[in-house]
């Protein structure tokens, strides 16, 4: 009799434990928590990506501007002017992007703008390498080239951000001086501060590119 009582108690406890452990309510509750966490992570990722893409769009207002594009040709000939015409005098890239003997960039361009002649200038004035030719590319393609180490001179993301936000030749676009008629050259549509902020934000949020 005592044995039967103990067996019944054991069975009861076993069923109770199993019921609690595997009750539908318990399973549902665990799943709900996991799903909420997942959704929340996805939301953060999505928000970050959106922020990155927004920052990318902002910085590309500068990168795709003629002041940058004129010296990022996809061929060997720099452009100039507001209409991005071929550089006068048949100027060419040369071996190192600094022009040809006796017709180097430095023959006319110095390390700062010249308001007398209207010749623009900034430190190490030269053409971007052929691999960084951007003319004819979409924003996303230019962004991909910027991140591609095989094209960007082996630069890491950190190097790129430094180049884009600190190189005086890049930042010249915000102070492009006057042309040969004394008319101010068009600067990009956003300020240097907003551009630098956008570049850094783009990098911090994962340097996403539009698909």
Contact residues for other proteins, defined by CB under 8 A:
88-92, 100-104, 106-108, 110-112, 114-119, 180
Tokens of 204: 């911090």
Residue pair 153/142 in contact by the 8 Å Cβ criterion = no
Indicate the residue among 14 and 77 with the shorter CB distance to other proteins: 77
Q: How far is the CB of 126 from other proteins (least distance, A)?
A: 14
Indicate the residue among 65 and 87 with the shorter CB distance to other proteins: 87
d(CA 30, CA 24): 10
Residue pair 144/178 in contact by the 8 Å Cβ criterion = no
Indicate the residue among 181 and 193 with the shorter CB distance to other proteins: 181
Q: How far is the CB of 197 from other proteins (least distance, A)?
A: 33
Q: How far is the CB of 102 from other proteins (least distance, A)?
A: 4
Bridge partners (DSSP) of residue 79 are 86
Q: How far is the CB of 100 from other proteins (least distance, A)?
A: 5
Q: How far is the CB of 172 from other proteins (least distance, A)?
A: 16
The 3-state secondary structure of 75-125, one letter per residue: CCCCEECCCCEECHHHCCCCCCCCEECCEEHHHHCCCCCECCCCECCCCCC
Indicate the residue among 92 and 186 with the shorter CB distance to other proteins: 92
Alpha carbon 194 to its chain's center: 14
Indicate the residue among 24 and 90 with the shorter CB distance to other proteins: 90
């Amino acid at each position: 009799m005592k044995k039967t009582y103990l067996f019944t108690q054991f069975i009861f406890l076993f069923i109770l434990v199993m019921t609690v452990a595997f009750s539908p309510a318990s399973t549902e509750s665990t799943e709900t928590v996991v799903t909420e966490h997942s959704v929340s992570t996805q939301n953060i990722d999505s928000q970050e990506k959106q922020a990155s893409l927004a920052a990318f769009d902002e910085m590309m207002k500068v990168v795709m501007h003629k002041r940058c594009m004129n010296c990022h040709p996809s061929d060997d000939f720099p452009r100039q002017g507001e209409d991005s015409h071929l550089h006068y005098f048949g100027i060419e890239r040369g071996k190192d992007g600094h022009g040809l003997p006796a017709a180097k960039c430095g023959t006319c361009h110095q390390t700062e703008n010249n308001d007398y002649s209207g010749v623009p200038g900034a430190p190490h004035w030269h053409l971007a390498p052929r691999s960084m030719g951007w003319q004819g590319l979409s924003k996303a393609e230019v962004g991909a080239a910027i991140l591609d180490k095989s094209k960007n001179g082996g630069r890491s993301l950190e190097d790129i951000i430094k180049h884009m936000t600190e190189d005086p030749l890049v930042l010249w676009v915000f102070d492009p001086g006057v042309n040969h008629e004394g008319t101010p050259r068009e600067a990009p549509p956003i300020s240097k501060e907003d551009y630098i902020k956008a570049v850094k934000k783009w990098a911090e949020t994962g340097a996403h590119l539009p698909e």
